[in-house]
Structure 1
Amino acid sequence: MRSVFWKVLRRGAALLATGFCIPALAAPQLETLRLPPGFRIEVLTDQVPNARGMTLGDFADGRGVVYVGSRNAGKVYGVEIDKGRATRVRTLASGLEQPVGVAYRDGSLFVSVVSRIVALDGVGRGLDKPPVPRELNVRFPSETHHGWKFIAFGPDGWLYVPVGAPCNICEPDERRYANIQRVRADGSGAEVVARGVRNTVGFDWNPADGSLWFTDNGRDMLGDELPSDELNRVGKSSEHFGYPYCHQGDIPDPEFGAKRACKDFTPPVAKLGAHVAALGMRFYTGRMFPAAYRNNIFIAEHGSWNRSRKSGYRIVRVEVDQAGKALRQEVFAEGWLQVDPGGQERVWGRPADVLVLPDGSLLISDDQAGAIYRVSYGGGA
């Protein structure tokens, strides 16, 4: 036992010297994961405790940085990648309040911190001496209930920031809560882009037409099967997607549904299932996967927390046509949730976000295992 202890201690010291953390005790169990034929999944790194939102930094010749946020860990990480392999992980900021969202632009990393957005200016020049976070001149509500935020820069150059409902079900001020907003890179010009959005923790823009698509988590306490999480498409500015009056496009809320009819709101493009906790989503813009996957949507389903039988804990693929219609959805990767022959459920990981690398491979963050996985096709690098 003593020799094992010293081996672990020496290994931890060596990893710390290279910028890594001591490994988690529970290693990712890749042998349980199932993907379509031809696809391969591997651990890019398991040194990112509570990994959530991801964004690409500068990449050239297969080398670059992926920035990663967290929720409960309060940290932001930089993962250096060289041709599909993680070479080093650095902690760039710590002690932040639920810094889930990260967005990179012109050498600076923008991070969501519940009521604020901070920027690490010049972080793209190197990770050894990360800059002190600078606050943008913008404020959001301070409630932590659905207060964590996925953020991203849109094709228009604006930073998109969601503000979740401060409750499971309530009727908040639509100008402040349950919406998606956008601000300029300096924090000015805040405006609402979409309303009636309970809690989105993932969105992306369709490369075919530039439209904004987002996942939305349905309300709790209506039973195991209702309502479904949603995949939505924004067709015009300040569109309303139903919360708190209507869920999944056709279920009036028992408390607020009498105030406004479901027909008054934009219905979801697809229903993703009840309580699957659909979080990060990205359109697949790479070239590594087969052509049939081009411009499909990959969605990380974090998994249910209060359903009698668990749902989610997987990656789903949604096929979309040129008209912006969801044609079908199917499971792409699963196995983080294991069910034994006796029906006992065991969860060893929870997918939180997805990200396409320049080489066409797909990254998946897992906040329970503290890991990022890389999915490739056909043995590609």
Structure 2
Amino acid sequence: MRSLSSLALATAALAGSALLLSSQTNVHLAPDPDNAGLKLPAGFGALKVAETGGKARHLAVTPQGLIYVKLNRPKDGAGILMLRPKADGRATVASSFGNYGGTGAYVKNGYLYASSDHAVYRYKLNANGEVATPNAPELLVRGLKVGSQHESKSIVLDNEDNLYVNIGAYANACQEQDRTRGSKGIPNCPILDSAGGIWQFKANKLNQRYPDGTRYASGLRNVVGLDWNQQDNQLFVMQHGRDQLHDNWPALYTEAQSATLPAECMYALKKGDNAGWPYLYYDQQQHKKIQGPEYGGDGKKEATGNYLDPAAAYPGHMAPNGLLFYTGTMFPAKYRNGAFIAFHGSWNRAPEPQAGYYVVFQPFKDGKPSGQWEVFADNFSGSAAKTASGRADHRPCGLAQGPDGSLYVSDDSKGTIYRILYTGKKS
């Protein structure tokens, strides 16, 4: 028989959880007067939830409304922040833990999953959504491949307790000499044996090693944004397209072409799919898969082979770092089951203006992209001039949905956490 003290503690915990959830489901929260500096569609508002001061990568929100933020590098010795919301929708850093940097953060089935560049961990959550033993994480996967670039390990879970991890290719285009003018591509690119794709592990099995995983999909240069589409029960990812078409092949590509090509692509993945990196890229202007210049392409020659077509394509070099399928009810019906994408912003579109630094919305129908994407939240950079120069104040990175249906956005420049609300009349 449980003691009166334990019953009292349990009752208090449940009451605290209910109070926290109640504060998160209040759709009448007031946005900041300036909408946190963002430009949003009519009827939407935004507030700054917190200024973490760290490079906030991906983030996750529990059903109780607690916010977990993964930092690219540890701040004051901790790589994960737990933010506790207040009644006005803002939040304070209540705790910090995890002595490792990284990108991935995901909440599912009563656990917080988090990744470093080398490993994936999980933390059991209590009834209030708090990590029960912050200093004793369970190690799920260790020894993940890390190269000199594209080292971040983004993570997501499906509905059958499988864990998916991005293993970025540690090269631009698998050249004999990486990022070198005129250097040819290596035949049968050896990087693809251990990187350049999505690996699948078990989400509930401890102490897995890298070789224990299954290469779920290949030919993906680097994926930072990914999410599981509940509508068609499928993994979707956003690939960072290759760089330096003009720098490395000036006889084939102008500076203007290199600034806009190739596309940043969304892929809908099934086990065994191959998106074709490094042998091809997708040209969103010609709407074709084009053979890479390192492998005999000339900017016009179409690629051959059984390679996956993108589900959708976006302008080049904008760095899609976050992907979220919206399943909430706060936003109008047009957003239900569509995809939000956080574009971190470009660095290599010169002499053209830099671009990105915004969150876009991609409509979906029956589990597939349908219709033109649109800019949803803009002005993270601070001004058009800062966008064009690439000197952005803030860079959107991670996306998460709150229990009330609000949209959270992280910034890995200054560490700001934003919350976007719908306050207008629903049609």
- Compute the TM-score of the two structures, normalised by the length of structure 2: 0.74
Q: d(CA) in 2 for partners of 1:70 and 1:302?
A: 15
From 399, 405, 410, give the equivalent of 1:365: 410
How far did 1:179 drift?
0.7
Asked if 1:332 is matched to 2:376, the reply is yes
**Are 1:120 and 1:131, in contact at CA under 8 Å, matched by a contact in 2?**
no
Give the structure with the larger helix fraction. 2
Q: d(CA) in 2 for partners of 1:345 and 1:147?
A: 22
Asked if 1:199 is matched to 2:229, the reply is no
**Are 2:337 and 2:367, in contact at CA under 8 Å, matched by a contact in 1?**
no
SS at match of 2:334: helix
Asked if 1:151 is matched to 2:195, the reply is no
Give the structure with the larger strand fraction. 1
Q: CA deviation digits over 1:52-94, x for unaligned, max 9? A: 11123342xxxx3121112134611111235672443144325
Residue identity in the other structure for 1:246: L
SS at match of 2:93: strand
How far did 1:127 drift?
5.4
From 223, 242, 247, give the equivalent of 1:219: 242
From 249, 269, 274, give the equivalent of 2:316: 274
What is the percent sequence identity of the aligned residues?
A: 31
Q: d(CA) in 1 for partners of 2:74 and 2:334?
A: 38
Q: d(CA) in 2 for partners of 1:84 and 1:299?
A: 26
From 324, 330, 338, give the equivalent of 1:288: 330
- Equivalent residue for 2:393? 348
Distance 1:176 1:330, change over 3 A: same
**Are 1:246 and 1:257, in contact at CA under 8 Å, matched by a contact in 2?**
no
Asked if 1:114 is matched to 2:159, the reply is no
Q: CA deviation digits over 1:164-187, x for unaligned, max 9? A: 001122134323101101111225
Distance 1:183 1:128, change over 3 A: closer
Distance 1:357 1:257, change over 3 A: farther
Distance 1:316 1:125, change over 3 A: closer
Q: d(CA) in 1 for partners of 2:364 and 2:305?
A: 24
How far did 1:366 drift?
0.6
What is the RMSD of the two structures over their aligned residues, measured on CA atoms?
A: 2.6
Distance 1:43 1:251, change over 3 A: same
**Are 2:169 and 2:221, in contact at CA under 8 Å, matched by a contact in 1?**
yes
Residue identity in the other structure for 1:224: A
**Structure 2 residue ranges without an equivalent (≥5):** 1-33, 175-188, 246-257, 283-287
- Equivalent residue for 2:345? 303
- Equivalent residue for 2:254? none
Q: d(CA) in 2 for partners of 1:356 and 1:113?
A: 22
**Structure 1 residue ranges without an equivalent (≥5):** 1-28
**Are 1:122 and 1:131, in contact at CA under 8 Å, matched by a contact in 2?**
no
Q: d(CA) in 2 for partners of 1:344 and 1:135?
A: 42
Q: CA deviation digits over 1:222-272, x for unaligned, max 9? A: 2211111111111x3110011101112522211035699345211111111
Q: d(CA) in 1 for partners of 2:423 and 2:147?
A: 46
Q: d(CA) in 2 for partners of 1:116 and 1:127?
A: 19
Asked if 1:315 is matched to 2:319, the reply is no
Asked if 1:178 is matched to 2:164, the reply is no
How far did 1:344 drift?
5.9
How far did 1:120 drift?
3.2
**Are 1:48 and 1:77, in contact at CA under 8 Å, matched by a contact in 2?**
no
- Equivalent residue for 1:26? none
**Are 1:114 and 1:144, in contact at CA under 8 Å, matched by a contact in 2?**
no
Residue identity in the other structure for 2:151: G
- Equivalent residue for 2:7? none
SS at match of 1:224: helix
Q: d(CA) in 1 for partners of 2:39 and 2:161?
A: 38
- Structure 1 segment 29-178 matched on structure 2, within 5 A: 32-47=37-52, 49-59=54-64, 64-73=65-74, 75-82=79-86, 85-96=89-100, 98-122=101-125, 126=130, 130-170=134-174, 171-178=189-196
How far did 1:346 drift?
4.2
Largest Rg, 1 or 2: 2
**Are 1:115 and 1:139, in contact at CA under 8 Å, matched by a contact in 2?**
yes
Distance 1:32 1:81, change over 3 A: closer
How far did 1:137 drift?
4.7
Q: CA deviation digits over 1:320-342, x for unaligned, max 9? A: 1216243210111111232349x
SS at match of 1:353: strand
Distance 1:358 1:257, change over 3 A: farther
